[in-house]
Chain A
């Protein structure tokens, strides 16, 4: 356990600058446009109030017409969404790079890892844990940032122009956040559970490629396709909403869960086996 934790720390440590960079980009891309938008809006409303012009600010989503943090999120969708997309892209790439960076380069780091006095499965599990830590770390960071942005909002917008908005509205105001941070815990576990299984499958595909070299690319693609087909087939063929489907919906659900567990178990077992037997120093 100790060695596993040390490996996890090593993986987090070597990614720290990229993680910090992603956090900085998110902070910049979300707060700066928000500040600009709010400053403009406050200025326009103040001018309208001073000139005595009657202005209507109410909209279907914000009927009171006052400024709220949810309003800000709704009106700066693109700038909130862009850094999230960048983070997703970088992490998706790193799912591959976390392995390939150890093989590529002048000093092949993987050999040093494989020669450590620890079970090779710890390397696999440490890399998986690190990826999950980065994903959840950025999610937690986004939640913290929303609190900071709310404080900035309260500093910029005068009290008579603003109203409070429930945190649930703040999340639902942006199109990306309800998908990344679903309201219900079961939906969160389901979405990220599927994500973990996807990472396991990709890890095993990478290890297949690394184990068998040229033919390994073919094995890796075949393995990926087989997992995707195994996941999709029950949903497509058994017809959860189809009239006259032979199986009941709860039975199809149980089959799908069993398939997911099987895919995860086979991926982990195969990954461990390849690490132990096929990848040699």
Chain B
């Protein structure tokens, strides 16, 4: 036994050292936080996820806080971080997780979130072909996969857009079905102008769902032409839940002034123009300028819920929500809510989904989440991030917590 003392000691040393380290690490907890209701219905906050960092350690720890507690990224398992957390850019899109759970086989190999459409009868996926720009002989085709939800049968179609010319179509911006017609909205570039956004054209490709033939193309062109001094950039706004049926999509035209300087051009956003496109009628309609009043900024969001277009502007002291019915038209409804009304000093961010306005506020350094009814501004829920532990440690822990973003769980 004495002869083997060195090896035995080494074995015990390893077990004690590394075992002790991981036992200590298991007991080493970062402070826990929770989103706790101050007033209203706690169920309204079930999807809220506040994210930010905890700075009480040497290196900041990224975390999310919700009604079920806090989750630190560094404490997540490898599997959670790299496997179940992979392709989050895809799985976090509204409706995608549900589709993958219900139609696992159909969803294989499909990676463009805006290419999906689902109604009571069909689940449809649209993807343009990946073309080689140096092969002008290749046809531009759109691949369409259809799943009949009643029978479970799938069908593949190919709609040829162009023959003999090299045109590129982006991933679909929106896909809608009207009867047996499939409407696919996408950007199109000629070979020479790719990938210049200012020189792209937007079209609604209307395809026959039974034969796969391209019936017609509708140019979605509000009529703005970029010049040296003024640039027009086009974006689209589709339904909050992009996979659901919709009657409209919104075209947002950002007008930018180009100023030549000695260090290159600078761009300043000066105005925004909104248009609605009706899939049923094929009409492009200019929307009231009041919906996009004020200087464009990252604090202005447009969204579409059914036939309701909303324009959400959030500034540090107020939120302004405008709603406009695309079917009936008329004057947009306007609602302004101040940070003071919500019992806070500053509005950090806001987002609108499914007729609910979710707001992240700060009162001194305390993060507050509020949920309001977007139709009338009624407060449905208000909660704050609190320390989930002994009261004596609360102040110090909360002082190091910084929650700056609000997201909704898929």
Q: Which residue numbers of A lie inside 8 Å of B, CB to CB?
A: 5, 8-9, 12-13, 16, 61-62, 70, 74, 133, 136-137, 139-141, 143-144, 165-169, 172-173, 181, 183-188, 190, 240-250, 253
Contact = CB atoms under 8 A, between A and B. Distances in A.
A167 B77 contact: no
Contacts of A8: 7
Interface stretch (B17-25, B228-236, B268-276, B367-375): B17-25
A249 B87 contact: yes
Nearest to A185: B22
A62 B56 CA distance: 10
Interface string B86-124: 110010000000001000100011111000000000000
A10 to B, nearest CB: 9
Interface in B1-38: 3-4, 6-7, 10-11, 13-14, 16-18, 20-22, 24-26, 28
Contacts, number: 106
Contact of B111 (A165, A183, A186, A244): A244
A144 to B, nearest CB: 6
Interface of B: 3-4, 6-7, 10-11, 13-14, 16-18, 20-22, 24-26, 28, 57-59, 74-75, 77-79, 82-84, 86-87, 90, 100, 104, 108-112, 127
Contacts of B82: 240
B4 A9 contact: yes
Contact of B21 (A61, A143, A245): A143
A184 B83 contact: no
- List of 6 A-B pairs having minimum Cβ-Cβ separation, nearest first: A140-B17, A243-B111, A244-B111, A169-B58, A9-B7, A136-B14
Contact of A240 (B86, B104, B111): B86
A140 B83 contact: no
B25 A172 contact: no
B111 A245 contact: yes
Contact of B90 (A61, A187, A243, A250): A243
A240 B100 CA distance: 16
A137 B10 CA distance: 7
B24 A133 contact: no
B232 to A, nearest CB: 29
A-side binding surface: helix, strand, loop or mixed?
helix
* B-side interface mostly: helix
Contacts of A136: 14, 18
Nearest to B59: A172
Contacts of A243: 87, 90, 111-112
A242 B83 contact: no
10 contacts: A5-B7, A9-B7, A12-B7, A143-B21, A172-B59, A183-B75, A185-B26, A240-B82, A244-B109, A244-B112
B59 A184 contact: no
Given A61-B59, A136-B14, A167-B28, A186 B78 contact: yes
B6 A140 contact: no
B87 A140 contact: no
| Residue picked from B28, B57, B90, most chain A C-beta under 10 Å | B57
A250 B111 contact: no
Contacts of B87: 240-241, 243, 249
Contacts of B79: 186, 253
Given A241-B86, A249-B86, A165 B17 contact: no
A183 B332 CA distance: 54
B22 A188 contact: yes
Contacts of A137: 10, 13-14
B7 A13 contact: yes
Contacts of B13: 137, 140-141
Contacts of A133: 7, 10-11, 14
Contacts of A139: 14, 17-18
B24 A167 contact: yes
B145 to A, nearest CB: 12
Given A16-B6, A143-B21, A166 B28 contact: yes
